[in-house]
Structure 1
Amino acid sequence: MPGYLFKRLVLVLPMLWLIASLFFLLSRLLPQGLGAGNILKGDEQYSKGSKESRERSYRQYLHKTQQDLPLFYFSIHARAEPDTLYRVYPESERLHLRRLAWKYGNWPLVSAYYSGVKQAHTLAAQQDQLQPHFEALHTSTVAPAILAAASSIAEADQENAFQTAILLRNAKRMVEHRQDYLGLLPTLSWNGSKNQYHNWLTEVLQGNFGTSYRDHRAVPAILAEAIGNTFWLLILSMAISVVLAFELSILMVRQKGRKWRRLFLPVLFLTDSIPTFVLALLLLVLLASPAFLQLFPVYGMGYYSPAGLPWHESLARQVQFMALPVLCLTLANLPYLTNQVYRSLATTGNEDYTRTARAKGLSETRIIRKHMLRNAWLPIITLLSDFLPALVAGALIIETIFAIPGVGRLLLTAVQARDYPVMMGIVVIVALFKMLSHLVADALYSLADPRIRYTSS
């Protein structure tokens, strides 16, 4: 058994590496982040800067986050596009250039055409009547629309006749010398070790999990603050749910439990049919609103707990904020858990050893708790090993509604801001948590049934 558990524990490391690597690569394929979008649009603190200063800040942001490097050691792309297209920013321009390359195939002509568009647009920036035509050139890939817009600009902009003539000539050359099938042929480019994945993996192996793009703090410090709240929320709700599920199931499986089954099963079915977010809102309205019973605070956990308080006062403050979220998670998961435990106990009630125990004259309580419950543990352990990781998904909704500064709420804000290092840390923690839960389940199988033996081979 110890050798088997050690082998399983060793296998966790490559699995974590695989999950983290896949998430890293997939996350970097997402569109540009919230911070990058704000810089380019001139939102918030960038609103007073010029276009050139915003673009400079944007490129500094990309360099700082290493997004100006290729993603992996190699890249597969269409033969019509160059292997340095990732250097083109902003992303809207890169996507437009990629569509032009796929459609017309001849990259040198596509590049010359787009350079002409940008130069002509810069010279005619003050001429408002030409902006719709330039907008068409920046978005369209259809040949008639491109030629029509380029011709209109060449006819209307006499001040920059030389540059607009070059633009029109490049547009015609790109359309006339198109190579239709190069966009369908793949090619492989080697990027070397100067790529985002190599730098990220090197830093992780050195113990550096990165800093947040949003507040520039170390990822472990951010996760440490959030994990504590989520840990207690999950542990308390799971403990209460498991205890209630077992007691209700034992009560309903008794020979005189028919009246309890008629009472509990419909109530549990009704509770299970209520979505988690609706249940959370109902609890807020009924137990945290002045219109009904304002017994608990609506939100504020982590914000109204002054530092330096004795541990018992700090705990008392935390309990009042934790009560409704724990109650909500418990009610959301209790019906399914109770149903599974009850069915497992009811199945063991028809086994031969149960009838033998009744024939010996043992009390019903002893039969249920010592014989039926022990033999029903195997499916229950399987259920609990998946139940605890499933609570993490419910915690995302609960922490958002009740404004709990936990892992779920942190994940939501990190996804909205495209904060890749924080997202990566949360994914690794959740994956590790799930793997360890299955490892604990294997150990509990052996304790619940001594006939189960694991080998390390």
Structure 2
Amino acid sequence: MRSYLLRRLLLALPAFWLLATVVFLLSRMLPGSFGEERILETEAGFYTKGNDSSRQAAYVQYLQKTGQDKPLFYFSLSPSPLPDTLYRVFPEARRQQLQRLTFRGGSWPAVAAFDAAVQQLVQHARQNGQHNLEPHLQVLRYSTDSHKLRLALKALAGTDTDVTTQALTRATATKFGSVESHFSTYGFLLPTPRWNGTDNQYRTWLTGLFYGDFGRSYRTNRPVVEMLWEAIGNTFWLLLCSMLFTLALALELSVQLSKRKMKWLRRMVLPSLFVVDSIPLFVLALLLLVLLANPDFLQLFPVYGMGYFATEPLPLWQRLGQWLQFMALPIISMVLVNLPYLTNQIYTSLQASLNANYTRTAKAKGLPEHLVIRRHALRNALLPVITIVSDFLPALVDGSIIIETIFAIPGIGRLLVESVLARDYPVLTTIVLLVLAVRMLAYALAEAAYAWADPRIKQKLA
């Protein structure tokens, strides 16, 4: 048994590495970035009062500090017209413009010449205080629509500006005409592999992963491990309590429903479980909030505030009571949303075991019904249920994201939502890897549970 589990663990490590690599690369391919939204934005950013050049300089410094100025991976596969240094162009909207124009035309020199002319025109207009040209300049900097670009150039040519601006406008129009002349080519369809070297973002991240360093948050500049350690406590207890209560209730309810004299209970409980199972998790959580945490109806539990209450030293029983006030509704939501399916599966499997020959033999020996169910039928009924339970823990992790967001619980799920919204890639990647590790652990525990439930499986695995 131990050698089998060790082999499974060794096989799981390459799979975990491959999944971790895919998660890292996909997370970095998401559009937008935290630095671009907070530094380069002219509204609601950190540098709203700075000029464009100061924001650009701050953004370059931010990329160098976080290592995002390096290539993403060891190699890349990109269309042949694109240069291998396009990732250094910022902001991302300008990079996308150059990329799409090159895709359409297939001529990077023509696109680069047009971009240089646009940057020169923008710099001259801003230095001379020609703010009325800004809407047209923004179109030239970021748009990929040929019609809009031509209209912007035409509008600039028709404005009353100085001679230099007019000359730069004509030069920009000439460069754009050169770009348009290549729009009929299809060179972008031919991919070209490029070697980016060993100094890349993936190598830095993977090296830190081996040493237990998951990086720093882009949003708070704190170590990711420290942020996860603060958030994992509430999530752990939420998942543990939900899982234990759900399993205990499902097992006991299935046993009671299997008794002959509990026909009235089956008629009442089974339709009720069907109704509860048809309610989505977020709807069920909101219903509990409206019914049990509403001052206008019945306020038995607090609505919001976990993690913000007073932190002065309190006796253990007071801290436990305070914690239960905030965790009661989330735990009830998790239990109710998972109880119907799990109960139905255990009850169906238990009914099949009760019709087997060994249970009939136990009944013929005169054993009481409750001993036949609990000692003989239940253990064999758990075999098909173990597979369901192995998926139960990852399902709870997924559900905790919704629950922690609705009930404002400072846990892993809420931290994941915040990291996605903020494009905080180190935190996002680490949380996803944690969920993958939980899923693999659940499958390993399922293997051990199979061996416990059926000694024949244990002999095969030995």
Give your verdict on TM over 0.5. yes
**Which residue among 389, 394, 399 is the counterpart of 1:394?**
399
Tell me which residue corresponds to 2:2: 2
| Structure 1 residue 151: Cα displacement | 5.0
Q: 2:350 matched to 1:349?
A: no
Q: For residue 159 of structure 1, what is the amino acid of its counterpart?
A: V
CA change 1:307–1:431 in 2 (3 A) is farther
Instruction: Give the match's secondary structure for 2:298.
Output: coil
CA distance in 1, matches of 2:54, 2:399: 43
Alignment check: 8 A CA contact 1:71 1:195 kept: yes
Q: For residue 278 of structure 1, what is the amino acid of its counterpart?
A: V
Alpha-carbon deviations, 1:122-158, whole Å to 9, x = none? 2224445544543443345455654564355345444
| Structure 1 residue 319: Cα displacement | 1.5
CA distance in 2, matches of 1:355, 1:277: 44
| Structure 1 residue 238: Cα displacement | 1.1
Q: 2:18 matched to 1:13?
A: no
Alignment check: 8 A CA contact 1:66 1:196 kept: yes
Tell me which residue corresponds to 1:69: 70
Q: Which runs of 5+ in 1 are unaligned?
A: none
CA distance in 2, matches of 1:339, 1:318: 32
CA distance in 2, matches of 1:302, 1:147: 55
Q: How many residues align?
A: 457
Alpha-carbon deviations, 1:55-100, whole Å to 9, x = none? 1111222222222211111111111111111110000101100111
| Structure 1 residue 162: Cα displacement | 3.3
Tell me which residue corresponds to 1:324: 329
Tell me which residue corresponds to 1:228: 233
Q: Which runs of 5+ in 2 are unaligned?
A: none
CA distance in 1, matches of 2:138, 2:39: 21
Q: For residue 4 of structure 1, what is the amino acid of its counterpart?
A: Y
Alignment check: 8 A CA contact 2:350 2:377 kept: yes
Q: Identity of counterpart residues, as a percentage? A: 51
Tell me the TM-score normalized by structure 1. Answer: 0.95
Alignment check: 8 A CA contact 1:147 1:172 kept: no
Instruction: Give the match's secondary structure for 2:242.
Output: helix
**Which residue among 273, 287, 293 is the counterpart of 2:292?**
287
**Which residue among 117, 137, 141 is the counterpart of 2:140?**
137
Tell me which residue corresponds to 1:308: 313
CA change 1:146–1:36 in 2 (3 A) is closer
Tell me which residue corresponds to 1:38: 38
For 1:366-405, list aligned pairs within 5 A: 366-405=371-410
Compare 422-431 and 91-100 and name the one that shifted more. Answer: 422-431
| Structure 1 residue 24: Cα displacement | 0.6
Tell me which residue corresponds to 1:182: 187
Alpha-carbon deviations, 1:169-212, whole Å to 9, x = none? 32233333567121111111111012111111122223211111
CA change 1:348–1:89 in 2 (3 A) is same
CA distance in 1, matches of 2:377, 2:384: 12
Alignment check: 8 A CA contact 2:93 2:142 kept: no
| Structure 1 residue 121: Cα displacement | 2.2
Alignment check: 8 A CA contact 2:34 2:218 kept: no
Q: For residue 362 of structure 1, what is the amino acid of its counterpart?
A: L
Alignment check: 8 A CA contact 1:4 1:454 kept: no
Compare 262-271 and 153-162 and name the one that shifted more. Answer: 153-162
Tell me which residue corresponds to 2:268: 263
**Which residue among 222, 234, 242 is the counterpart of 1:217?**
222
Tell me the TM-score normalized by structure 2. Answer: 0.94
CA change 1:173–1:454 in 2 (3 A) is farther
Alignment check: 8 A CA contact 1:103 1:141 kept: no
Tell me which residue corresponds to 2:429: 424
Alignment check: 8 A CA contact 2:114 2:179 kept: yes
